[in-house]
Amino acid sequence: MAATGSTPSSKTTQHAGFPFNRTDADVVLRSSDGVDFHVHRAILTVASPFFETMFRLPQPASSPPEAIDVTENNKTLDVLLRICYPVPDPYISSFELACSTLEAALKYDMNAGVDYVKNRVLPMFIKKMPLRVFAIACKHSFETLARQASKEVLAQHAVPDLYVPELETISAGCYRRLVQSQQGRAVWYVLGGHQGTQQGFRSDSSHYRDASFPFNDTHADIDIVTSDGVRFRALGAIMKLASPVWRTMLSEAAERKNEAHGSLILPVPEDSKTIDVLLRCCYPLETPTLNDAQSLAPVLAAAKRYEMGKAISFLSRRFTDLTPSDALTSYLIASSHEWTELAKDAAGLLRTRSRKELLATYVICMESTMAGPYYRLLQYHKKCGETAAELFTPEVAVPSVRISLTTVSCSQCGRWRLDSNPTWLTSVAIAHKAMLEEIIRDLEKCSQCLRHIGKILDFFSVFERAVDEAVAKVDTKMLFVKPT
């Protein structure tokens, strides 16, 4: 009998069904919704290195055993435990249950659970929801499963228009490779660039490396220790003026200070490159050089985290200055940090690219930013293109400009030219294209015809303004709102 799915009251718990209700069990796992699973320590120890390590720790003696609270609900816990127990394999009926079971198996290091979901459960959902399976496979680097799901995604033409919530959990690089494959422009593969992991704080001072001048001053009263083990000797007075967050952190550190150590030690999660730039923004030093958005982003993020007004102002301006040279990188980074204005500016610059150009563009930060913002950019770009294309429909009038295009004979060369006032942008564009082609052919033959190029340029200027005005009305909120 499967475990019940009802939620108990705060004073009562429910008991799971067989085989998790045996009286010879020596461990009780309590689900997040209050269902007790009576399980056997020996089975959990074999199935999970996580539980093996936990059971090695001294356990309180009690009879019956105290319940161990876990974060999984009873349905997920029931499925996961049945995979480990010598009982018939569980049936997983929903994609959501498959995903929660997989996450729990990974969390508790239960290889049997991971393999069961990856190889036997998720493949069953490929036909019905291939993009969701693809995303889960990418998230966990299941290469074979991702390839299987991608074939069905492409067969159903599900990209780049279909949205699934799991796009928020995989890299833009993985998603772009799938889109490229749909466009027939690339050989698809799952794994892309390496995503670095942040190092933890090194507590052993013997492994510190001192920063370079001016942050190696032995007279400084603060030792900032970065995640990569570099010690910055800084002046507390400057730090407190630059950041109210640092001011609070230093006050708290002072309360914990070891009198045997002369300086306050302030461990921070940022690396040495980030802290170096932040401090240079505070000190009376030359403005730090930052030449690309990707290296600037962690510094700006840290400045915002520490509420450093002057640094934020300088770094934001620099980010804006760098955006035109690499708008896609700027957009992805700004979106990942929820810097809405910077993201909108970058997306606006990307409107000038063709769909083909945008889809073909690859930037290295795609491997460390999520697919969700990239998907929304593609949809925004598509909407802008559709809005611009609507200007070519017969219902859209030409903006106010007088362009003479009636069919008459040129007084100098005797050739025919257009000279009329078409009402619709479609006819204007077609007529001017034909006129331009004719003038170019006869460019060296007739100076009179050359003067009509100005009329064409007038139209192009007006049409460009019309497109800009129409596209500017596309709501940029779609760049930040996840589809439902």
> What confidence score (pLDDT) does residue 361 get?
93
Confidence band (pLDDT; 50, 70, 90) for 390? confident
Alpha-carbon distances, residue 418 vs 25, 422, 423, 461, 462 (angstroms): 93, 11, 14, 19, 19
Identical fold between 14-57+64-182 and 207-288: yes
For residue range 6-27, list pLDDT tens digits in order. 444 445 789 999 999 999 999 9
Amino acid at 151: K
For residue range 162-177, list pLDDT tens digits in order. 999 999 999 999 999 9
> What confidence score (pLDDT) does residue 183 get?
75
> What confidence score (pLDDT) does residue 428 get?
54
The pTM assigned to this predicted structure is: 0.78
> What confidence score (pLDDT) does residue 287 get?
82
Confidence band (pLDDT; 50, 70, 90) for 262? low
Instruction: Kindly tell me if the per-residue pLDDT of 78 is higher than 80.
Output: yes
SS in 3 state form for the chain?
Answer: CCCCCCCCCCCCCEECCCCCECCCCCEEEECCCCEEEEECHHHHHHHCHHHHHHHHCCCCCCCCCCEEECCCCHHHHHHHHHHHCCCCCCCCCCHHHHHHHHHHHHHCCCHHHHHHHHHHHHHHHCCCCHHHHHHHHHHCCCHHHHHHHHHHHHHCCCCCCCCCHHHHHCEHHHHHHHHHHHHCCCCCCCCCCCCCCCCCCCCCHHHCEECCCCCECCCCCEEEECCCCEEEEECHHHHHHHCHHHHHHHHHHHHHCCCCCCCEEEECCCCHHHHHHHHHHHCCCCCCCCCCHHHHHHHHHHHHHCCCHHHHHHHHHHHHHHHHHCHHHHHHHHHHCCCHHHHHHHHHHHCCCCHHHHHHCCCHHHHCCEHHHHHHHHHHHHHHHHHHHHHHCCCCECCCCCCCCCCEECCCCCCEECCCCCCEHHHHHHHHHHHHHHHHHCCCCCHHHHCCHHHHHHHHHHHHHHHHHHHCCCCHHHHCCCCC
CB 78 within 8 A of CB 20: yes
Q: Which residue has the tokens 């230093």?
A: 250
Instruction: Kindly tell me if the per-residue pLDDT of 157 is higher than 50.
Output: yes
> What confidence score (pLDDT) does residue 273 get?
94
Instruction: Kindly tell me if the per-residue pLDDT of 243 is higher than 90.
Output: yes
CATH class of the structural domain 14-57+64-182: alpha beta
Confidence band (pLDDT; 50, 70, 90) for 5? very low
Please report, in angstroms and rounded to a whole number, the separation of the first and last CA atoms in the chain: 36
For residue range 334-368, list pLDDT tens digits in order. 999 999 999 999 999 999 888 889 999 999 999 99
CB 133 within 8 A of CB 145: yes
Instruction: Kindly tell me if the per-residue pLDDT of 393 is higher than 70.
Output: no
Instruction: Kindly tell me if the per-residue pLDDT of 406 is higher than 90.
Output: no
Just give the CATH number of 207-288.
3.30.710.10
Cα 263 to Cα 198: distance, rounded to the nearest angstrom: 26
Domain range list for the chain: 14-57+64-182, 207-288, 391-473
Amino acid at 24: D
Share of the chain above pLDDT 90, in %: 62
Average pLDDT, the chain: 84
> What confidence score (pLDDT) does residue 196 get?
41
